[in-house]
């Protein structure tokens, strides 16, 4: 059976990817530094889910630790690597930009070097819709220019795409970059809007809504994201970049309304101006992902939020 190394395996997307691979009998080696950017308990609980599978091995490891990373490649010999480990979040990159350079650029460099030296068959890595930065034209297409990033997070993700391109050119390393568009679902991240909304509504606290509510997002349900990653692992293209979005956009205040209904509790909305580094609208053109990967997102926002809120209630013992 194929051996896959997944970095950031205790993260939101990492956990769901490992689960999906393990259910299909892959042998999965997961690494994660379990940092405290958000509650490490959630990461440990995700790991407990993964440890139920006999084909899962975990090592607490930072991708910045070059020698320890080499040892993992040497011992495990993955045929494919999926790099999801990164300092995520646009807003945090205004406060702590160097953590993005360290994990997302220095760490990614180590991943590239290991894939090259251990002749890994393919690398799939997380990019982000934030590379579209100040672009006005929607939907965002992979053919659009992406030279106006408006956060260090976006810079780090664009840098990954360029580093991967050069490793393909120089060493023939096969790689696929995936620009995720606002992933959400069960086991989601507490620093992201939906989780924050649910948490604050339940606590009777006001929820912050930026740009006075004039925000639209291409929310992508986690199962659709995982499907796109799995298709990328299978296709193992030479050097490609794909958008993984839902090809639709939802008004942020409509998300609040659906969450209010699901929690049966009214939100107290606090309007704020636009946050630096943030974008008003994200919307993915997925024509190329459909054609080349066979990617087909199929979960609408109502069903996705229903699943998220059910998980949220269960996880927080609210039912």
Ligand X SMILES: NC(=O)c1ccc[n+]([C@@H]2O[C@H](COP(=O)([O-])OP(=O)(O)OC[C@H]3O[C@@H](n4cnc5c(N)ncnc54)[C@H](O)[C@@H]3O)[C@@H](O)[C@H]2O)c1
Q: With CA atoms as reference, report the closest residue to 311 among 161, 133, 187, 172.
A: 187
Asked if residue 107 binds ligand X (CB under 6 A), the reply is: yes
Per annotation, catalytic residue among 38, 125, 153, 221: 153
Q: How many residues bind ligand X (CB under 6 A)?
A: 28
Complex with ligand X: residue 43 or 158, whichever CB lies closer:
43
Closest separation in Å from C-beta 224 to ligand X: 12
Asked if residue 71 binds ligand X (CB under 6 A), the reply is: no
Closest separation in Å from C-beta 266 to ligand X: 27
- d(CA 128, CA 136) in angstroms, rounded, equals 17
Complex with ligand X: residue 33 or 250, whichever CB lies closer:
33
Closest separation in Å from C-beta 32 to ligand X: 5
Lookup: tokens for 142: 């992979």
Closest separation in Å from C-beta 23 to ligand X: 18
Beta strand 250-251 with 216-217: parallel, antiparallel or unpaired?
Answer: antiparallel
* 3-state secondary structure (DSSP) of residue 141: coil
Complex with ligand X: residue 261 or 286, whichever CB lies closer:
286
Complex with ligand X: residue 25 or 304, whichever CB lies closer:
304
Q: Is 153 a catalytic residue?
A: yes
Among 189, 249, 255, 289, binds ligand X (CB under 6 A): 189
- d(CA 82, CA 172) in angstroms, rounded, equals 17
Among 5, 6, 18, 32, binds ligand X (CB under 6 A): 32
Site stretch for ligand X (CB under 6 A), options 84-92, 142-150, 210-218, 290-298: 84-92
Asked if residue 128 binds ligand X (CB under 6 A), the reply is: yes
From the number of C-beta atoms within 10 Å of its C-beta (0-12, 13-18, 19+), residue 178 rates as buried
Long-range contacts, stretch 192-197, CB < 8 angstroms, 24+ apart? 193/217, 193/252, 193/255, 194/255, 194/259, 194/305, 194/308, 195/312, 197/255, 197/256, 197/259, 197/267
Asked if residue 175 binds ligand X (CB under 6 A), the reply is: no
Complex with ligand X: residue 25 or 233, whichever CB lies closer:
233
Closest separation in Å from C-beta 215 to ligand X: 15
Asked if residue 152 binds ligand X (CB under 6 A), the reply is: no
DSSP 261-306: HHHT---EEEE--PPTT--SB--B--HHHHHHH-------HHHHHH
Closest separation in Å from C-beta 207 to ligand X: 19
Q: With CA atoms as reference, report the closest residue to 75 among 122, 123, 22, 114.
A: 114
| Residues contributing to the site for ligand X (CB under 6 A) | 7-8, 10-14, 32-35, 43, 62-64, 84-88, 103, 107, 126, 128, 180, 182-183, 189
Q: Which residues are catalytic?
A: 153
């Amino acid at each position: 059976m194929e051996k896959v190394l997944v970095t950031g395996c205790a993260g939101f997307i990492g956990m769901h990817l490992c689960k999906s691979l393990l259910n299909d009998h892959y042998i999965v080696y997961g690494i994660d530094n379990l940092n405290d950017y958000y509650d490490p308990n959630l990461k440990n609980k995700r790991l407990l889910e993964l440890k139920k599978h006999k084909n899962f091995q975990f090592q607490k490891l930072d991708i910045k630790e070059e020698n320890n990373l080499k040892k993992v490649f040497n011992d495990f010999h993955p045929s494919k690597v999926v790099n999801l480990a990164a300092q995520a979040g646009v807003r945090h990159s205004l406060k702590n930009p160097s953590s993005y350079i360290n994990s997302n650029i220095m760490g990614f460099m180590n991943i590239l070097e290991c894939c090259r030296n251990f002749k890994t068959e393919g690398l799939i890595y997380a990019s982000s819709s934030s590379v579209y930065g100040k672009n006005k034209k929607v939907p965002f297409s992979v053919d659009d220019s992406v030279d106006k990033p408006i956060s260090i997070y976006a810079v780090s993700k664009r840098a990954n795409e360029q580093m991967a391109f050069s490793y393909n050119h120089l060493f023939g390393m096969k790689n696929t970059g995936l620009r995720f568009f606002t992933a959400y679902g069960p086991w989601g991240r507490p620093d992201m809007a939906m989780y924050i909304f649910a948490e604050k509504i339940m606590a009777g606290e006001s929820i912050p809504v930026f740009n006075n509510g004039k925000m639209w997002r291409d929310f992508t349900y986690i199962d659709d994201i995982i499907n796109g990653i799995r298709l990328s692992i299978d296709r193992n293209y030479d050097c490609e970049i794909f958008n993984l979005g839902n090809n639709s956009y939802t008004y942020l205040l409509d998300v609040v309304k659906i969450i209010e209904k699901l929690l049966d509790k009214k939100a107290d909305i606090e309007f704020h101006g636009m946050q630096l580094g943030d974008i008003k609208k994200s919307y993915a053109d997925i024509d190329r992902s459909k054609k080349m990967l066979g990617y087909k997102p199929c979960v609408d926002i109502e069903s996705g939020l229903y699943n998220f809120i059910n998980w949220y209630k269960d996880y927080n013992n609210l039912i």
